[in-house]
Structure 1
Amino acid sequence: MKKIISLLMFVMITSFYLTTAPTLLAEEKIELRAIPIAWDAVNLTWTPVPGVKGYEVYRSTNLDNIYSPVNLLFIVNWSNYTKYKENWNYLPGEVVEYKGYLWRAKKVTSQPPQEGDHWEKLAPITPTNTAVDYFNVTGNTTYYYIVVPVFRDGKRGEPSNIVKVTTPPQPYRIVVYYISWGIYARAFSPYDIPFENVTHVNYAFLKLLENGTVTWADPWADPMNLESFKELKSKYPAVKFLISVGGWTLSKYFSPVAADPAKRREFIRSAIAIIRKYNLDGIDIDWEYPGGGGMEGNYASPDDPKNFIILLKEFREALDEAGREDHKHYLLTVAAPANLDIASRIDWREASKYLDFINVMTYDYIGLWSPVTGHNAPLYRNPNGPDYGSIDETIKWYIEHVPDRTKIVLGVPFYGRSFANVPPKNHGLFQPYSGTPAGTWGSAAETHGVMDYWDIAEKARSREYEYFWDNYSKVPWLYSESKRIFITFDDPKSILIKTQYMLNQSLGGIMVWEITADRKPGTHSHPLLVAILEGLKERPPVWIPDRYVLGSNVPRNVTIPEPETVTTKRGICGPAAILIIALFVLFKRNS
């Protein structure tokens, strides 16, 4: 009788413990795969389990005790569709998550989903079995991951295999601006961006209203382009997509918005709503310029530099809060002036605390405001010409004022400027002029002589223009004696030199204004972008560095260790093991 009682006690207590333990054995076996797709992103995929309400994802830099509440990264209880956002206009056919179900909009609506004229109820949410870990992932770091299924009754299944991955080091940034109007005459859609060759894409530009709301500059093109970005983000998750607000023509209201706490909140709220709606990665603020010096008619105030810092601080706090909710790090960047009189208004040491990086617009050193011709983006100042400044002077100044020089990104132009009625002396360089010729995309009155690189390259191959090189400034120019036209621009030779300069200064990368100007319509050639890759010794995809890594200009080969499954012994451990051993001893003794 004692044997029977002991045996029953053994079975009952063991069964009770196993059915109430935090980790339960499930019939379905989860197989986890984890692959680093960038220095700060790890793609996770696992076999789905029927009947779950979500999956817990755990991450640790230490293999010991990975299955612990402190290592819970996030719970995947969402589908591949975005959640419904209050007061947002949805177009017919858009699908959203709302209160555990998927809903499809029947017509343009901002109403919350419910069965009726505006929404169609589709099906309960089935949690996706994929996720990308963007949450404060760092480069050149080893992580361990497991996934645990959570069933609808609250019980947990058996954890997946443990996967070990090592992220690659952080690459130098290749930041390109994409212009919203690129889809028109240029016939350059978001799908034409060479994503394998860039790390960041800034969408230029969205408009800031007087009340602080960020909205479309082009109500037709902007939502369509950002929908394309949303689709491309799923295809290129390692590339960062940002909205850029402002620019030369849309900076009118920055000053009053930055000065008003309520308007700042609306600026931040509306920008984050757009970022989330289109699954983007952050915002680039292009205020030209705090304190004035931008387009005529812009508001300006002596308090702009102070309010600029306040705006950045509040944006950083709000983006971090959103990032905690969305399990990713949202980027905050700015476009900064090359003009040192304007740049010196800002406390960049303080500003850089809140910024991921600073895109320095090291071009437009000359223009219609200049009395004589010169170089648009000279690397060094030519002592034989007027002092319009140079890239070297600008960058050296920023290095003195930004504690972390890897946050400084060097801007290069993929366009040139042209001047008319230029005398032939010195082949047109440093000479007076009168007006501009027509640019690539319009008359002189519309374009002020601005030309795309591909257009200039074709002119350079013609017999009408002669090519010259300034060995002081390390940039070329063209001059046509018959047309009396002077063109200042960058070509692959000068772009390569500037990329090498960036490496020598240990900066954070290269920024391009703008990507459509490098490619002749109807082709897939990007000669200036290729020159940047050559300077960085990069092969696509550039978000996995080939030789150079951020913070080092010493060539070295970087390899990513293959993901590997960590072999661990499965079974019962901890208090359960002690209990079972004790019962087994008791059973043996009574028998």
Structure 2
Amino acid sequence: MKSSVIKIALILLGSYLIGCQQRPHADKLQNATTKKIIGYIAGWKGVDTSAVQAEKLTHVNYAFANVIDGMVTEGEGRFDQDKVNIQKLHSLKSRNPDLKILISIGGWTWSKGFSDAVLTDDSRKKFTDSAIAYLIRHDLDGLDFDWEYPGMQGDGNVFRAEDKENFVLMLKSVRQALDSLEKVTGKHYLNTIASAGFKSYLEVNDLGQAQQYLDFINIMTYDFVGPGTDTTAHHTNLFNPNLNGRSAAQAVFDHVEAGVPIEKLVMGMAFYGKSWKSVRPGNNGLYQPAVWNSTHPYRNIQGMVGQDGYVRYWDEDSKAPFLWNQSDSIFLSYEDPESIAAKAEFIKTHNLGGAMFWEYHEDSDDGELLNALFQSLRK
């Protein structure tokens, strides 16, 4: 009798496991339309709503608000411009009523005031109140904190070891304030951050604690190399065959190891590329000694492919494209529709929350990268 019961249990277990193996594909199809597509829009470049494909976005992160004297505020001289730009973004909801508009606070150059602003209970209250006032003033759907970076210097910023705890306390304070506002308006407000795509950021922060106060986390899975890098490489590759090499996938797994549920993670994509000059020939310029050159918006890169000596290559191991100009010794790492499709497949397979990109104006006039992302991730 006992033996029969065990056999039946094993048969049922086998059926369950087969079902588990089959379900991810079904879940992937079922959940595809819920994946986020978050586009950062740089306010200093203006907002042309006729050029924004609102129907293909779930969220717009308007960049940036500043942190001055411990408070979230419009950047110096930008109050009128930001007010007009955000009003224009709101008009996109006539074409996509579900579109969410958030303000991104900080960024690379405007993160200098965070550490002081969140240092004490009183300063955190002042900071939180100002963030909520900004949200109400512009009728926004949420706040996105781009502190680059807690516990790290970033662009010559003030930083402290206490940032690790204060960052979490800041997010908790903001979450509680947003929840209080929801009780008044009946509307859920988003609380999100942009996090770094390198492990040392996770080592000086506590994302496992922070995530409980966040709706999702946008990982900046790009800029893996750049100025100061004297060897060519991919700057936003999905995988990296080199031991301990940086990649988008590794950044995701590092965040999960740090205690963040994978469904809260949003993978970043770069609508721009990076180039080196004086590249030593060999391996079509990949992983060769070189001199840093510059960054390029995709709208310019699109016209370079196959022109003036630029030849496109595909690195299957990294799932990343690159351009190599042998005659001019120039190497260029970038994102294209094929690499975006590979990342979208990773996002669906591993059940991430979605994708975000920097920055909307850098896409081609025909929106080639956003179109590729929408088709790969949401269709």
TM range (shorter): 0.7 to 0.9
1:378 to 237, 245, 259: 237
Partners of 1:435 and 1:173 lie apart in 2 by 34
| Conserved? CA contact 1:365–1:388, under 8 Å | no
**Higher helix proportion (structure 1 or 2):** 2
Q: What SS is found at the alignment partner of 2:128?
A: helix
The amino acid of 2:314's aligned partner reads: W
1:282 to 142, 155, 158: 142
1:516 to 345, 352, 361: 361
CA deviation after TM superposition for structure 1 residue 360, in Å = 0.6
Partner of 1:532: 373
Partner of 1:586: none
Partner of 1:507: 352
1:202 to 50, 54, 61: 61
Partners of 1:329 and 1:512 lie apart in 2 by 24
- Does structure 1 residue 255 correspond to structure 2 residue 96? no
Residues 374 and 169 of structure 1: CA distance in aligned 2, closer, same or farther (over 3 Å): closer
| Conserved? CA contact 1:376–1:417, under 8 Å | yes
Residues 387 and 190 of structure 1: CA distance in aligned 2, closer, same or farther (over 3 Å): farther
Partner of 2:218: 359
Deviation per residue, 1:385-423 (Å, 9 max, x gap) = x85411121111112233532111111111111112212
Deviation per residue, 1:500-537 (Å, 9 max, x gap) = 011111110011111111133xxxx1111121122224
Partner of 1:482: 327
Partners of 2:32 and 2:332 lie apart in 1 by 40
Partner of 1:139: none
2:180 to 311, 314, 321: 321
1:470 to 309, 315, 328: 315
CA deviation after TM superposition for structure 1 residue 486, in Å = 1.0
Q: What SS is found at the alignment partner of 1:352?
A: helix
Partners of 2:80 and 2:334 lie apart in 1 by 32
1:393 to 250, 260, 283: 250
In structure 1, stretches of 5+ residues that fail to align are: 1-167, 437-448, 539-591
Residues 362 and 403 of structure 1: CA distance in aligned 2, closer, same or farther (over 3 Å): closer
The amino acid of 2:249's aligned partner reads: D
Partner of 1:347: 206
Deviation per residue, 1:277-317 (Å, 9 max, x gap) = 2221010000000011411x210001101000000000000
Deviation per residue, 1:303-361 (Å, 9 max, x gap) = 10100000000000001111111110010000001010112222222111100000011
The amino acid of 1:526's aligned partner reads: G
The amino acid of 1:534's aligned partner reads: Q
| Conserved? CA contact 2:32–2:377, under 8 Å | no
Residues 347 and 465 of structure 1: CA distance in aligned 2, closer, same or farther (over 3 Å): same
- Which of the pair has more CA radius of gyration? 1
Partners of 1:239 and 1:402 lie apart in 2 by 29
Deviation per residue, 1:19-69 (Å, 9 max, x gap) = xxxxxxxxxxxxxxxxxxxxxxxxxxxxxxxxxxxxxxxxxxxxxxxxxxx
The amino acid of 1:414's aligned partner reads: F
The amino acid of 1:194's aligned partner reads: Q
Q: How does 1:22-421 map to 2 (within 5 A)?
A: 171-183=34-46, 189-217=48-76, 218-233=78-93, 236-295=96-155, 297-383=156-242, 388-421=245-278
2:337 to 466, 475, 492: 492
| Conserved? CA contact 2:266–2:355, under 8 Å | yes
Q: Which runs of 4+ in 1 moved over 6 A?
A: none
CA deviation after TM superposition for structure 1 residue 192, in Å = 2.4
CA deviation after TM superposition for structure 1 residue 468, in Å = 1.0
| Conserved? CA contact 1:182–1:189, under 8 Å | no
CA deviation after TM superposition for structure 1 residue 226, in Å = 1.5
| Conserved? CA contact 1:378–1:391, under 8 Å | yes
Partner of 1:122: none
Partners of 2:39 and 2:287 lie apart in 1 by 30
Partners of 1:467 and 1:355 lie apart in 2 by 39
Residues 190 and 343 of structure 1: CA distance in aligned 2, closer, same or farther (over 3 Å): farther
The count of aligned residue pairs is: 348
CA deviation after TM superposition for structure 1 residue 234, in Å = 5.4
| RMSD of aligned alpha carbons | 1.9
With the length of structure 1 as denominator, give the TM-score of the two structures.
0.57
With the length of structure 2 as denominator, give the TM-score of the two structures.
0.87
| Range moving further from structure 2, 511-520 or 278-287 | 511-520
Q: What SS is found at the alignment partner of 1:461?
A: coil
Partners of 2:91 and 2:182 lie apart in 1 by 20
| Range moving further from structure 2, 309-318 or 505-514 | 505-514
- Does structure 1 residue 434 correspond to structure 2 residue 294? no
Residues 249 and 488 of structure 1: CA distance in aligned 2, closer, same or farther (over 3 Å): same
Residues 389 and 220 of structure 1: CA distance in aligned 2, closer, same or farther (over 3 Å): same
| Conserved? CA contact 1:209–1:215, under 8 Å | no
2:306 to 451, 458, 461: 461
Partner of 2:18: none
Q: What SS is found at the alignment partner of 1:462?
A: coil
Partners of 2:139 and 2:238 lie apart in 1 by 37
Residues 196 and 235 of structure 1: CA distance in aligned 2, closer, same or farther (over 3 Å): closer
Deviation per residue, 1:248-302 (Å, 9 max, x gap) = 111011111111333322222222222222221010000000011411x210001
CA deviation after TM superposition for structure 1 residue 170, in Å = 7.1
CA deviation after TM superposition for structure 1 residue 477, in Å = 0.5
Residues 500 and 452 of structure 1: CA distance in aligned 2, closer, same or farther (over 3 Å): same
In structure 2, stretches of 5+ residues that fail to align are: 1-30
Residues 339 and 293 of structure 1: CA distance in aligned 2, closer, same or farther (over 3 Å): farther
The amino acid of 2:82's aligned partner reads: D
Deviation per residue, 1:355-375 (Å, 9 max, x gap) = 000001111111113231100
Q: What SS is found at the alignment partner of 2:144?
A: strand
Partners of 2:133 and 2:314 lie apart in 1 by 48
